[in-house]
Amino acid sequence: MAESNVRVLNDITAVACAAAELFVKLVAQAQAERKPFRVALSGGTTPTALYDALASPEWRSRVRWNGIAFFFGDERAVPPDHPDSNYRTANDHLFRPLRISDGQVHRMKADMGALEAAAEAYEQELHTAIGGLFPRFDLALLGMGPDGHTASLFPGNKVLGEDTRWVVPVTDAPKPPPRRLTLTVPVLNSAGQILFMVTGKDKAEALREVLEGTASPQQYPAKLVNPGPDCLTWLVDAAAASRLADYSSQSGLLS
Ligand code: 6PG
Q: For residue range 86-120, what is the model confidence (pLDDT) as tens digits?
A: 999 999 999 999 999 999 999 999 999 899 999 99
Pocket test for ligand 1, best of 46, 197, 201 (most atoms within 8 A of CB): 46
**What's the count of helices (H) and strands (E) in the chain, helices before strands?**
7, 9
pLDDT single digits (tens) 32-64 = 999 999 999 999 999 999 999 999 999 999 999
pLDDT single digits (tens) 199-239 = 999 999 999 999 999 999 999 999 999 999 899 999 999 99
Whether 149 contacts 141, CB under 8 Å: no
**In one letter, which amino acid is 93?**
H
User: How far is 126 from 154, CA to CA, in rounded Å?
Assistant: 23
Whether 203 contacts 166, CB under 8 Å: no
User: How far is 153 from 144, CA to CA, in rounded Å?
Assistant: 10
Peptide bond preceding 177: is omega within 30 degrees of 0, i.e. cis? yes
pTM of the predicted structure, to 2 decimals: 0.96
Does the Cβ of 175 fall within 6 Å of ligand 1? Answer: yes
Question: Residue 252: is its pLDDT beyond 70?
Answer: no
Does the Cβ of 150 fall within 6 Å of ligand 1? Answer: yes
Tell me which residue has its CA closest to atom 4 in ligand 1.
Answer: 44
198-212: burial string, b at 16+ Cβ within 10 Å, e else: bbeeebbbbbbbbbe
| 74 alpha carbon – ligand 1 mean position (Å) | 9
Question: For the CA atoms of the chain, what is the radius of gyration?
Answer: 17
Whether 86 contacts 41, CB under 8 Å: yes
* Eight-state DSSP code of residue 155: T
The percent of the chain in helix, strand and coil, each rounded to the nearest 5, is: 35, 20, 50
Whats the size of the chain, residue-wise?
255
Mean pLDDT calculated for residue range 238-253: 74
